[in-house]
Amino acid sequence: MEKFKGEGVIDFFDKFQTDLDCLEYLAFRKWESGYTCKKCSHRKYTIRKSNFARDCNRCHHIESPTANTLFHKVKFGIRKAFVILFEMSATSKSISSSQMAKRLTIHRSTAWLFMHKVRISMKSSESMPIKGLVTVDEFVFGGQEDLKPGRSNDSKKKKIVAAVETDAKGGIKRAYFKKIDDYSSTSLITIFDTHISTKPKISTDKWSGYKPLMKVYNITQTKSDKGNTFFEMNTIIHQVKSWMRSTFSWMHEGHIEKYLDEYSYRLNRSNYKESIFDNLVCRMIKHQHAGLKDIKLSA
């Protein structure tokens, strides 16, 4: 078995023709570096032909390829789940859960729940903070929004802070987003602490909320001249807003960060499209099972 590479839709459907093909792939990626029985730690097993599960040779505990992963309890067919992963990783924009449901003839709420599980696996590991050139700025989304970047205190709008890493030529390398309740330094610091190392040169506008963070971070403040100073940042803000507006008819405030995680995941891997689908499969395998209660908002 070889890793799936690329963005080719024909290649994809050639490789994954049945649910069993997908289960075999999951088993291959899950136990690539060896199998250990979860119950007795024995390392020898027999493969069950019906679903590629591992049957422990000592205690006969059976572990399926989907057990303890985000594919657990997928009732609509693992191949359809693979199509969702392919759509959300290898294509540039993905689609809404209602469109996905129509395409795959599954219930809309089923598509909605599974796509949120995929977004959970897409969340940044937060283990590679930005060390290069970075710009931080805030924007709003929703309500009667205008398209201008910058702060607004309209309570109907969702407030978001973004960090965009660029290379020396101004090319965009990575972008991260966090939903914030207000523009205070206590709210703004979350994106710094999560995604930016204390070393790089960070550009912000003249907003006073960034001032207290200058004790820890190397921040240079520049007057924002209607967006020209932050060209790359404004490009990203424009793209993420138009993606959210055109793809999803409605977005609950409590879920907005998951959609932003999805956007970041694809954007930050634009140079690694060859391996993006396989990477997402592995993330789904490594992530513990999540159910509706983990995704539904408690409010």
Sites of contact with Zn ion (CB under 5 A): 37, 39-40, 42, 56, 58-59, 61
What's the maximum distance between 2 C-alpha atoms anywhere in the chain?
A: 70
Q: How far is the CB of 62 from Zn ion (least distance, A)?
A: 9
Q: How far is the CB of 56 from Zn ion (least distance, A)?
A: 3
Q: In this complex, which beta carbon is closest to Zn ion, that of residue 53 or of residue 260? A: 53
Q: In this complex, which beta carbon is closest to Zn ion, that of residue 9 or of residue 59? A: 59
Q: What is the spatial distance between Cα 198 and Cα 131, in angstroms, rounded to a whole number?
A: 8
Q: How far is the CB of 61 from Zn ion (least distance, A)?
A: 5
Q: In this complex, which beta carbon is closest to Zn ion, that of residue 38 or of residue 245? A: 38
What DSSP string describes 11-76? HHHHH--SHHHHHHHHHHHHTTT----TTT----EEE-TTT--EEETTT--EE-TTTTSTTTT--S
Q: In this complex, which beta carbon is closest to Zn ion, that of residue 12 or of residue 35? A: 35
Q: How far is the CB of 35 from Zn ion (least distance, A)?
A: 10
Q: In this complex, which beta carbon is closest to Zn ion, that of residue 61 or of residue 72? A: 61
Q: Is 94 helix (H, G, I), strand (E, B) or coil?
A: coil
- Specify the amino acid at residue 46: T
Q: Three-state SS string across 227-294, please? A: CCCCHHHHHHHHHHHHHHHHHCCCCCHHHHHHHHHHHHHHHCCHHHHHHHHHHHHHHHHHCCCCCHHH
Q: How far is the CB of 30 from Zn ion (least distance, A)?
A: 16
Q: What is the spatial distance between Cα 281 and Cα 131, in angstroms, rounded to a whole number?
A: 28
Q: Residue 41 phi/psi, 5° resolution? A: 65, 10
135 touches 166 (CB < 8 A) = yes
Q: How far is the CB of 43 from Zn ion (least distance, A)?
A: 9
Q: In this complex, which beta carbon is closest to Zn ion, that of residue 27 or of residue 256? A: 27
Q: How far is the CB of 64 from Zn ion (least distance, A)?
A: 14
Q: In this complex, which beta carbon is closest to Zn ion, that of residue 58 or of residue 206? A: 58
Q: What is the spatial distance between Cα 130 and Cα 197, in angstroms, rounded to a whole number?
A: 6
Nearest CA-CA partner of 146 in 232, 238, 236, 235: 238
